[in-house]
A and B are shown apart, each in its own frame.
Chain A
Amino acid sequence: MWGKVYTGFGYWDASAWILFFFIAAFFTLWLRSQGRSDYKKGTEQDEIYWSGNEVPEDGEDITVPASSAYWGFRKALEPFYRGLLGIHTGIATDIVGYYVMTVAFLAVFILLV
């Protein structure tokens, strides 16, 4: 049941990985349990450190919006994305056009090759 999957170049053994995962998990949880718990609950000591300011109540103000996640990746590849988003015009005839061009390209080259 718990056999190995041979991929011709090596093998993948799920049970070995899971065994390793539990050992690592055990060690991590032990390390975590060494933390100090003598802080006074309810006081400022268990509030998040917001560089001294009052932590805003509504989560809205301190969440990073999804559209700005990976903005560096997006800005770095700006020319690539301008081209890629340019292709996705969303016009129905363009979509059919790409399809017809692909089939035409395939047809021409298969008759040549």
Chain B
Amino acid sequence: MIGNAPFFAVGVLFLMGLLGIFMTKNLIKIAIAVTILGSSVNIFLVALGYRTGGTIPVHFLAGEGTTMVMPTPQAMTLTAIVIALATTALLLSLIMLVWRHYGTIDVDEIRRLRG
């Protein structure tokens, strides 16, 4: 049961991120919630690759003969982090431009495109 504790953490964090998007009206908080969502997925990926008693999957650091965790999810997580970085940076710059044009970052007021 304790084995899949990280997956419960992922579930909780994912729900927090998801609800965070809907709970708030402030755009920046929504961007933060999306980042939380991204990090929960990263935790999920890393937790997938875990082998009990495994060490860092780098040969010269972990030495020979020790069981190593799976390297692929960690590679996937690295890429996912880089992508989340790019997307968050873009989201925040768009929020800045929205503030400059609309004078507000309240999500309910930014709705010139509707219907």
Binding site for B on A (CB under 8 A): 85, 88-93, 96-97, 100
CA distance in complex: A105, B35 (Å)? 24
The answer, among A85, A88, A92, A100, for a CB contact under 8 Å with B18, is: A100
Is B111 a contact of A96 with CB atoms below 8 Å? no
Is A90 a contact of B22 with CB atoms below 8 Å? no
Also in contact, A88 and B115, with CB within 8 A (given A93-B21, A96-B21, A97-B22): yes
The answer, among A85, A88, A89, A93, for a CB contact under 8 Å with B22, is: A93
Is B30 a contact of A92 with CB atoms below 8 Å? yes
CA distance in complex: A93, B105 (Å)? 13
The answer, among B18, B27, B30, B111, for a CB contact under 8 Å with A89, is: B111
| Complex contacts, A100 vs chain B, CB 8 Å | 18
| Complex contacts, B115 vs chain A, CB 8 Å | 85, 88, 90
Is A92 a contact of B113 with CB atoms below 8 Å? no
A91 to chain B, nearest CB (A): 5
CA distance in complex: A91, B112 (Å)? 9
| Complex contacts, B30 vs chain A, CB 8 Å | 92-93
Is A88 a contact of B21 with CB atoms below 8 Å? no
CA distance in complex: A51, B108 (Å)? 51
CA distance in complex: A90, B21 (Å)? 15
CA distance in complex: A97, B108 (Å)? 14
The answer to whether B100 has its CB under 8 Å from any CB of chain A is: no
Extra pairs beyond A90-B113, A92-B27 (11, CB < 8 Å): A88-B115, A90-B111, A90-B114, A91-B108, A91-B110, A91-B111, A91-B114, A92-B110, A93-B21, A93-B22, A100-B18
